[in-house]
Structure 1
Amino acid sequence: MELIGADEQAAVVPAMGGLLGSVNESLGAPVAPVWEAAFRGAPRHAFLPETVWVGGELEECSRKSDPEGWLRHACADTAVVTQVNDGKDVGAVGERWASCSASAPSVVFRMLDMLDLRAEHHVLEIGAGTGWNAALLAHRLGADRVTSVEVDPVLAARAEGSLRGVGLDPRVVCGDGAEGYAVGGPTTG
């Protein structure tokens, strides 16, 4: 995702530092160095769409019309909705329902830590969403060790584009995660 301009670019570094501080505080300890490197190499804001929806009423926050507000939400340790109404008509406040979201970063890093990943592991992620989790995994393990399956073709394409935007190339598959993805998976003999 391209930055809007120099003002936003100057705001990103301190905002990311603030987010990392919030995540560390929420976790009660600093994020492991391998995950901090992934956090810096695949920043969350690079995976969020131009419009996010926030709060109980799913109020729209556009990067174009409110770049400061958008960046504040992107770099907060809270979940943001990244798609409403299955990507169809956004509708008015009160007619919106969340169909995709970006989890709070502290939740993401807590789950990643609980995976207890090793360098030789391969990961099959069900639900690519924004692609951020796949990016963090690919940064940690290598892109060839991460496959993410997403049922929504628009979300799969957006995640893939965001991943390429930060220089990562894990496999993103559009399909039903309940069916898994056998290509490259373990074999039985």
Structure 2
Amino acid sequence: MLEISFETMLQARLERDTSFDGKFFIGIKTTQIFCIPSCKARQSKEENLEFFKNQLEAKQSGYRGCKRCYSETYPITKPAWVERIEVLLESKIEEKITEKELSSLFNVDQSTLRRKFLQYHDVTPTEFHRSLKLEKAKKLIDDGENISEIIHKCGFRSISGFRTAFIKKYGYTPRIGGFF
């Protein structure tokens, strides 16, 4: 493993450079917390920083993982239940599924469900599902399918709701042969 200079590590921390995540960890002496270089937590003074090659070294020095950047479990792996929800939403394009139903079905708190989806997809489960519906609708439009059938197959309740969502995502109206 190549040694990373102190100056390089400091610069990576200041710039929150993600390319250094996992290559070293930063301990904050005042809080006894260690982070990855790209952590969004408030920057600490240089004299309060300590650098480690790995998580074990940081833990052995008395530091605990950051709850903001999840340094203790870096690299973060997606929970299996998130993947199962993705598969379910992809298979149920024509249905309306609420976050409450998903949390109940997968025995996960609603706030945890939203937080994890935002973490891995930058959207809520509802927005993720809507995006899947719109992607399918766009493909069907490109294939020349009837708008009424598209709306039904993609789980939209009205033409106006579909049109509004489509314009918001793609920036233009859905058209088949120039009509709509």
Question: TM-score by structure 1 length?
Answer: 0.22
The structure with more radius of gyration: 2
**More helix per residue: 1 or 2?**
2
**More strand per residue: 1 or 2?**
1
Q: Which has the higher contact order (CA 8 A, sep 6+)?
A: 1
Question: TM-score by structure 2 length?
Answer: 0.22
